Amino acid sequence: MQPLLSNIDNSFVGRTVGRAGLAALSPATLCIDQALYLFSFLSRATTGLASRAYASNASDGAGTSSVEAARDAASPALTVSLICGAALTLIYSFRTPALLQLLNVDPMLRRSATSYIHWRGATAWAAMAQNVCLSLFMVTRDVITPLKIISCAAVANVIGDALFCVWIRGGTGGAAAATTCATLISSVWMVAALRKKELLPALRIPNKKELAALAEYTGPLLAITLTRMAGFLNMQRKAMTLGVTALAGYQLVMNLLIFFILFGEPLSQLGQTKLPGLIEDANAKEAKKTLKSILLLSVFAAAGVGAAAFLTSISMPGLFSTDLGVQAVAKGAAPMLFLAVSMTIMGIAIDGAMMASRDFGFMLGTGIISFFVQSKLLEYCSSVQAILATCKFTCC
């Protein structure tokens, strides 16, 4: 949902404000989306913990159903996500200028970037809690309910962008206000849907056992996420040295990348929800068969989604900007976008299988090596295409 809404924001800002507005969104969305990505370990931990509870508790002898077990397993993650989200909201409220200064953002872009961050940051707590709620739907294999919610939120975001960006002329702040409204709508709807299904976790301070179970996932996953987030941060800092036009093009291409690689997430969720039960039962034959199926699906998904990203970058940059220079940057980066999206979708599918088997050591080791390799390569990059080429190390 977040990458979709960010791309909608790009389109309205790029066409109503121009390349300066699009360039301002680049560091602004980095501060918001990458921070939310940093805490994605909570939703992934929810998937791991709740799927194991759901698979192994058809009945635990005490009358506890699978739904109850999954709900209780998700409670610590939901509580922690709200606490961390509230802390993020406070940071955005008071430390946004310091964040932009740390990123060396061009002074003429800071006002627009600050406005965007303040609006989006106000609902960081809702966005983080929503990710945990979404994992619960996936664990119980209900994909239709979140699909309806996210689709309606996207429509609400488009209407809000038209109102705040086109009619009121609110610029980047208007686009962020529209996204904020959409996030609140979807969050409230998700909570109501979970309550109706008796899946809504209780908010309570986790006990020692629950914290230990959560830490088993969150510790390694946080470290893995940090290495990948640091790679994106280095890419952003390099892009900001290339000028306003290149930075606006970078913002366009990176949001396309982030949007399209999310199509690989169902493959990761499939591994995280299907494999744990097989691993717990020591059913190696069925686990290998399932993994083979997931990898085969990922090959077709990588080719198809990569091609869609390539075609979007080649033929549709005008949706996001009327500036010919920005459009040229997007078109020139299309081949690298195809490679980055394709390789990342394969990597995401493998990630899901490794998380299901808790193979965090290998994931962290490869992440650290990739980070240092990418950091060295970025020193020689002088174009958006070259920066995007290094993204394969960050995402995979």
Between 31-45, 55-69, 279-293, the lowest mean confidence (pLDDT) is in 55-69
Structure confidence by residue, pLDDT tens digits, 363-372: 888 888 888 8
What tokens were used for 101?
A: 């200064």
In this structure, the number of other CB atoms found within 10 A of the CB of residue 93 comes to 12
Residue 251: the pLDDT is 87
Q: Which of 4-8, 109-113, 233-237 has the highest mean pLDDT?
A: 109-113
Structure confidence by residue, pLDDT tens digits, 198-229: 888 888 887 777 777 777 766 777 777 788 78
Residue 392: the pLDDT is 65
Question: Residue with structure tokens 């006990």?
Answer: 207
Examine the pLDDT at 176 and tell me if it is beyond 80.
yes
Q: How would you label 132-156 residue by residue, b for 16+ Cβ within 10 Å and e otherwise?
A: bbbbbbbbbeeeebbeebbeebbeb
Shortest CA distance to 166 belongs to which of 25, 23, 24, 11?
11
Query: What are the residue ranges of helices labelled H in 197-283?
Result: 208-239, 244-261, 265-280
Structure confidence by residue, pLDDT tens digits, 303-350: 999 999 999 999 988 888 888 898 999 999 999 999 999 998 988 888
Residue 393: the pLDDT is 58
**Domain total of the chain:** 1
Residue 59: the pLDDT is 45
Mean pLDDT, residues 183-204 taken together: 90
Structural domain span for residue 130? 2-395
- Residue 163: band (very low, low, confident or very high) from pLDDT cuts 50, 70, 90: very high
Between 177-181, 301-305, 361-365, the lowest mean confidence (pLDDT) is in 361-365
Separation of alpha carbons 139 and 55, rounded Å: 9
What does pTM read for this prediction? Answer: 0.73
